[in-house]
Structure 1
């Protein structure tokens, strides 16, 4: 079946929107702002920042919504983190961190430019067509007010679009029969996933659990028998199918924006994220199979 070019265009657009949303997770500004409200632990800061839009939820809710984090790790920090800082305090700290991060990575002139205002309007138009049902992270963030400043409105919209696609992606992973660790390992095997050393440092799984998941994938015929993480033809088809279903579930925002709008948003977002990457937004070895 020939892939729908509109879905390919939507994925390209997402692929340049999502990294800008993600910059704050790798920024010292987030750690500093959350430490200022009492959340000094790195893992606790991440769980709090990303889940705060859902309110003072428990560990089960965060594990369900985030999918590939070990529940034991989540439960060490949630709901205890809400006794240190309220969701409202965390959201305010996150916003301050995002503002500082974007100013450093993209520059004041670009943030104040007509292009940024145009990108914000386009991204918000796309995000308004997202659906809330079965999408907890998108729905929670969609209930937050849109920031006034264009660069913060753009980041807010990029967050909505990221979480909308992400919520759908979890349904695709479930349908493919990939448990949380298998989802991580098979993504690494595509060459597009986060390097194992970063996964093992942040997701709570041990090397033994990671290797066991690789063994299960080999037993299913999804990875080759050697020790390298290499997808078999069947494995490549499975991962391709996951992405294709994710595209389909994420269709609405980009259809609402229209082909011309998607193309223009992709153009603008590519410029913004290129500048951020050039200014060191992410570790240089973040993606890959090594580690």
Structure 2
């Protein structure tokens, strides 16, 4: 039972601080080291392995479909070959070890052992109880994994569930909005909130020609102007896309209730700020540059 209606965009604000807490491990030297111990040294292979491992030893088309915005040829270069190097079970164990050590480095032992972190873990796990698996393969796969005992790992696990739940719904919204994988990246970058083109091209496998062709298609639809900036129609289109994602993702936060969502947002914001200050993410990753 909720005690009050959720304020406008409260669920999105909570997601926006939980999601980066989940994502810190993708950029951590600890993850690279753990995967290298298994024989997985390529950065793209490591990413595909750790995020897809919960699905089992799936083929490249499954990863391409569930991740949405990666070039199929890049995925096929590493999947399913990565499973011959390291089993999904071994990757999942390595990932959890990396999350443990990286969060301890980024947050410090005082925060790791604090009652506030344990409180945040309880709140996030409670919210995740209301996530639905229907048409959400990445969420469903991660929901089948055991909840770690340590509070900081339980918080990370819950953040992962909430991230993938929203992410799976976001893909449905992208399809409804008529945005293909590259168009989705271009429109997100154009808002100044997505990864820079440099990071997209380096990590998603697309070429500058792919990027330019997508931008041209978006200009043809009236969503971008000649300078690559969103037109008023483009702003409205992206706004509706995010609102559609919000509608598909509201259940966990309604389940938690307005007061507890506000508290979880407050706690996670503090943890994320500490992680940022301790170098959790590359400085040039976000923006239009």
Same-fold status (TM-score > 0.5) = yes
Q: How many Å apart are 1:7 and its aligned residue? A: 4.7
| 2:6/2:254 contact within 8 Å kept | no
| 1:7/1:248 contact within 8 Å kept | no
1:167 aligns with 2:163: no
The correspondence of residues 1-291 of structure 1 with structure 2, limited to 5 A, is 6-226=7-227, 229-290=228-289
Bigger relative contact order, structure 1 or 2, given CA contacts below 8 A and separation 6+? 2
**What is the number of equivalent residue pairs in this alignment?**
285
| 1:132/1:139 contact within 8 Å kept | yes
Aligned partners of 2:17 and 2:8: how far apart in 1?
15
Kindly report structure 1 stretches of 4+ aligned residues shifted beyond 3 Å: 4-7
Deviation string 1:12-52 (CA, Å, 9 cap, x unpaired) is 10011011100001111111100101111110000000000
Could you tell me which runs of 5 or more consecutive residues in structure 1 were left unpaired when the two chains were aligned: none
Deviation string 1:243-285 (CA, Å, 9 cap, x unpaired) is 0000000010000001111011001001000000011111111
Deviation string 1:183-233 (CA, Å, 9 cap, x unpaired) is 00000011101011010000010011011100100011000123xx20001
Q: TM-score, normalised by structure 2?
A: 0.97
| 1:194/1:288 contact within 8 Å kept | yes
| 2:17/2:265 contact within 8 Å kept | yes
Could you tell me which runs of 5 or more consecutive residues in structure 2 were left unpaired when the two chains were aligned: none
Aligned partners of 2:97 and 2:106: how far apart in 1?
14
| 2:6/2:258 contact within 8 Å kept | no
Q: How many Å apart are 1:6 and its aligned residue? A: 3.3
| 2:6/2:257 contact within 8 Å kept | no
Aligned partners of 1:237 and 1:64: how far apart in 2?
27
Aligned partners of 2:102 and 2:156: how far apart in 1?
11
| 1:195/1:287 contact within 8 Å kept | yes
